[in-house]
Chains A and B, each alone.
Chain A
Amino acid sequence: MSLQALTAEGLTAFMRPAATVMEASRLGCLYPYPLSFMRSLLRRVMKQNWQITPEILSLNDGGYGHAVYEIKTARAVFSYVIFAKNLEASSRSDRVIAEDWDMTVTLCEGKLDELRLAKLKANVPLQEKGRVDTSCFVLSRANKSVRNFEAVVARLAAGEQPDLDEMAKVGYLYRTTAVYGSGKFGMADWDKVKSRWPDFCSPFDAEMFSCWMIRHFSLAQADYVAARRAPETAVKMDDKIKRYVGIGNATGLGMAPYLINHPLLINNWIEVRETALARVLSSGVADDSSRGNFKCLILKAMQHLDEISTDNEDQNKLNANARKDIGEALEWFEGRTVSNWNEVIDYATSNLSIEAQELLNVILLELYPDLITDLESRLSVDEVYSLKGNMKAKALKSLIETHYDWALNIDYSDPKTQGIFWYRSEEKMEPRLGQRFEEPGAGSEMLLGIGWYVCECYRELLAYIEAQGPEALTARFVFEHPQHRYISRRMQTMAKTRYGEIRINAIDLDVLPIQLLRCKLSFFGVGKFDPRSRMWVRNTMFQGAPLVSDIGKNMDDTWCFPIRPDAA
């Protein structure tokens, strides 16, 4: 969204400043919101009444084999192909470096004939070691939560519904461990996907759809295996419980470089989100109805936080504090008649943790879908980082001082501020962190410490200005200092945006990559964060979401803050 568009909407005064919004510590507290990709996708699937039908279900009694679902939209036909196998426990790993999985899948254009299916069967289960063609645009895999899957099947086979206490702890039957798109392994490029298949033209539409279908198959497989195991007694899982079952996900360091390498896209996502909030604050009328909904959503969010199960003490504290804070916000809210939502924002800013502030922002956004849902069409952006060679050196200097002050304020003479380097491991090129002054490999460091490159460029620019004068051109500076061409064009491009870069020193000894992971996952729509270290997190997708069988029914888009069905 352009600055002009925001001004035209009269929203500028309601937009939060970049210095507040782009701090990694705040981005690491974001929650899913109504424009999160999986929410947007399912609104479209439901509204457009997509037809999803099993064309092939070739499974044995254990639920192993292959399945092909046909997806008919108003514009096109697609096939979703699943290969399910019996995986030895010793082979089951959620790491990128794994080589075998319980389920492997792909989403591709058109109907499949036997030849195409055979080729997919030969390649999709291999994942990174296989090759597909440009008719495919998602490649993914998932592993069973064996204990939960078996417990659910056993209950269904015995004619009982799943144990909700157990389901509340885990929340899924399968976990995805990687979801590839954008041309990986021979698949269609993003440019082709968005131009050729408009049904999947928003960022990560196809990837989110694939995860939703994995969830669908996991539920269908549980019903199927239970029915085969005990045909006389088995029951199908109740739809209310099915909706409570999500799809697990394990996300590691691999996702973090994406946010740093796509600053224009991330700026755009943030700007859309902040614009939505600004619209609510400027136009959302606080009346009896919206005030009532606000209170209901706070209660639901509190229940949701209560039900999150994680062994991570820090996350438990964050959740408990957020719950306490929004509880206090509710008390404060009930003690007055709020007539303007800015009062809530002011109260939260002065009294609550960042986690609770962002939670209340999401609750406000949930109140006014009509004010914000049109923004979902603005999430995509063409990323061009072009050097403006005729910018004078003094202007580049000024630009850095204005827009990258956060980087200039990092004291890189302190070894701690560059204590980490990111590198690609020889194991499947998995991104990893190394200790710069203790481990080998810093010579192969990935270009992710943006602040450091900014400072180096600034230092040499000052010397260049001293030697050549302030009128010298950027083109001349980068010709003579080619190592600064990349960062110069990046800075020139990002200085034109409202929010700019994520403010993180990614090479600090104490860097928390998990903040970046949670930021991106919140845009996906993922919740129930369960950090396993500062570098990877388990989470749950699509919990509370409509089912494939709900297509065609009148479903409200109200599945935020999922809670157990008996408490709903």
Chain B
Amino acid sequence: MTSTAELYLSLNELRALMRRTYEALYHHGYDFAVMARSCLWLEAHGLDGIGLILRSLPDLETPCRDIELFDLTPNHFKVEGRGRCLIPFVNAAADLAIAAAQDSGIGTIDILNVFGRLNIFSALKKSARLNLYAAAIWYDAGEKRTHILWLKSSKELPDYYILNETHQGPWGESGLRFVCAESAETVTQNVRAVLSEDVVPHKTGAQFSAAYEGALEGGIAVSRETYAQLNEIADRLLVPATDASRMGAGE
């Protein structure tokens, strides 16, 4: 129940808070509902979705209309992110690769010069729901580590690998590649180019699933400070009350 240090929010409560937060940031300029769900999924699966948002807030305060999309081939796309946070456009970018995979068997999108790349997680969940295989690969120049989310055959959640080594691909030092396909082998080929067979996952899909069950069972711990910070943004949506506004709504 109540504690001075932290609150336990239900998943629904966190999702509602995130919806209002994104709605306050962008009003209806982006799909705030799916952005909120993406954050919730990260948090509920133990991937610090709230932390990602808080670290991205200075960037999120301004719309990212200046990103550019390029067609490399009919099923391979490139987005120039201009150093922006991935959150507002990650789902729409992944849609392109997923649509291409549904139509031609494989779809790839390279998203360059962005941060907050773990937000691609929800795109792998969507791929699973559509019976597709998928992977996201990125290199973190600051940590000098390579990250791989890999949705393998018959899984609902990806395995997550972190390699303490450099694998710079076409995505550069601050980009990522998301590849999605109808065939497991196509995705495997992409992943095996950077991941050897003896590496064990940092987190498995089963561990993500267990984290989600734990969050559903007991709620998600959020510090009161963080809760207040998010509410401060979300509350920008609230309209001051007047006598006129109270009329007719009840007695």
Selected contact of A184 from candidates B1, B10, B236, CB within 8 Å: B10
Q: Which residues of A contact B218 (CB under 8 A)?
A: 133-134
- In angstroms, Cα B92 to Cα A474, docked, is 10
A482 touches B30 (CB 8 A): yes
Taken residue by residue from 229 to 240, chain A's Cβ proximity to chain B (1 for < 8 Å, 0 otherwise) reads as 000000000000
Q: Which partner residue on chain A sits nearest B27 by CB separation?
A: A443
B217 touches A444 (CB 8 A): no
Rank and list the top 6 A-B pairs by shortest CB-CB distance, nearest first. Answer: A183-B10, A183-B12, A389-B99, A441-B239, A390-B99, A389-B95
- In angstroms, Cα B11 to Cα A543, docked, is 35
Name, among B89, B236, B245, the residue most crowded by chain A CB atoms within 10 Å (CB to CB): B245
- In angstroms, Cα B32 to Cα A304, docked, is 46
Whether, in the assembled complex, A95 has its beta carbon less than 8 Å from a beta carbon of chain B, the answer is yes
Taken residue by residue from 482 to 493, chain A's Cβ proximity to chain B (1 for < 8 Å, 0 otherwise) reads as 110110010000
B249 touches A430 (CB 8 A): yes
B69 touches A480 (CB 8 A): yes
A184 touches B13 (CB 8 A): yes
Q: Which residues of B contact A119 (CB under 8 A)?
A: 1-2
A182 touches B12 (CB 8 A): yes
Q: A123-B2, A424-B237, A445-B27 are in contact. List 4 more A-B contacts (CB 8 A).
A: A183-B12, A485-B34, A486-B33, A533-B248
A252 touches B30 (CB 8 A): no
A423 touches B239 (CB 8 A): yes
Known: A192-B216, A389-B99, A429-B238. A187 touches B10 (CB 8 A): yes
B12 touches A389 (CB 8 A): no
Whether, in the assembled complex, B240 has its beta carbon less than 8 Å from a beta carbon of chain A, the answer is yes
A447 touches B28 (CB 8 A): yes
Q: Which residues of A contact B250 (CB under 8 A)?
A: 93-96, 250, 252, 532, 535-536
Known: A390-B102, A535-B249. A483 touches B29 (CB 8 A): yes
| CB within 8 Å of B: which A514-541 residues | 532-536
Residue numbers of B with Cβ under 8 A of A are 1-2, 7-13, 23, 27-34, 69, 88-89, 91-93, 95-96, 98-100, 102-103, 126, 129-130, 216-219, 235-241, 244-246, 248-251
Selected contact of B1 from candidates A132, A192, A445, A534, CB within 8 Å: A132
- Shortest Cβ distance from residue A526 to the other chain B in the assembled complex, whole angstroms: 17
A483 touches B28 (CB 8 A): yes
Taken residue by residue from 44 to 83, chain A's Cβ proximity to chain B (1 for < 8 Å, 0 otherwise) reads as 0000000000000000000000000000000000000000
Whether, in the assembled complex, A91 has its beta carbon less than 8 Å from a beta carbon of chain B, the answer is no
- In angstroms, Cα B215 to Cα A188, docked, is 10
Name, among B88, B100, B244, B250, the residue most crowded by chain A CB atoms within 10 Å (CB to CB): B250
A186 touches B8 (CB 8 A): yes
B98 touches A389 (CB 8 A): yes
- In angstroms, Cα B217 to Cα A189, docked, is 8
Q: Which residues of A contact B103 (CB under 8 A)?
A: 390, 473
Selected contact of B129 from candidates A185, A253, A386, A441, CB within 8 Å: A386
Q: Which partner residue on chain A sits nearest B237 by CB separation?
A: A444
- In angstroms, Cα B156 to Cα A505, docked, is 39
B239 touches A189 (CB 8 A): no
- In angstroms, Cα B126 to Cα A423, docked, is 31
B241 touches A427 (CB 8 A): yes
Q: Which residues of B contact A190 (CB under 8 A)?
A: 12
Q: Which residues of A contact B126 (CB under 8 A)?
A: 386
Q: Which residues of B contact A429 (CB under 8 A)?
A: 238
B96 touches A434 (CB 8 A): no
Residue numbers of A with Cβ under 8 A of B are 93-96, 119, 122-123, 130-134, 182-192, 250, 252-253, 384, 386-387, 389-390, 423-427, 429-430, 432-434, 439-441, 443-445, 447, 453, 473-476, 478-480, 482-483, 485-486, 489, 532-536
Known: A94-B251, A389-B96. A486 touches B34 (CB 8 A): yes
- In angstroms, Cα B129 to Cα A406, docked, is 31
Q: Which partner residue on chain A sits nearest B29 by CB separation?
A: A483
- Shortest Cβ distance from residue B195 to the other chain A in the assembled complex, whole angstroms: 27
Known: A183-B10, A473-B99, A478-B95. A425 touches B30 (CB 8 A): no
Known: A95-B250, A189-B11. A486 touches B32 (CB 8 A): yes
B13 touches A186 (CB 8 A): yes
B249 touches A123 (CB 8 A): no
Q: Which residues of A contact B91 (CB under 8 A)?
A: 387, 485
Q: Which residues of A contact B95 (CB under 8 A)?
A: 387, 389, 475, 478-479
- In angstroms, Cα B28 to Cα A453, docked, is 10
B249 touches A133 (CB 8 A): no
Selected contact of B31 from candidates A187, A425, A482, CB within 8 Å: A482
- In angstroms, Cα B23 to Cα A444, docked, is 9
Q: Which residues of B contact A134 (CB under 8 A)?
A: 8, 10, 217-219
- Shortest Cβ distance from residue B46 to the other chain A in the assembled complex, whole angstroms: 17
Q: Which residues of B contact A430 (CB under 8 A)?
A: 249
- In angstroms, Cα B128 to Cα A386, docked, is 12
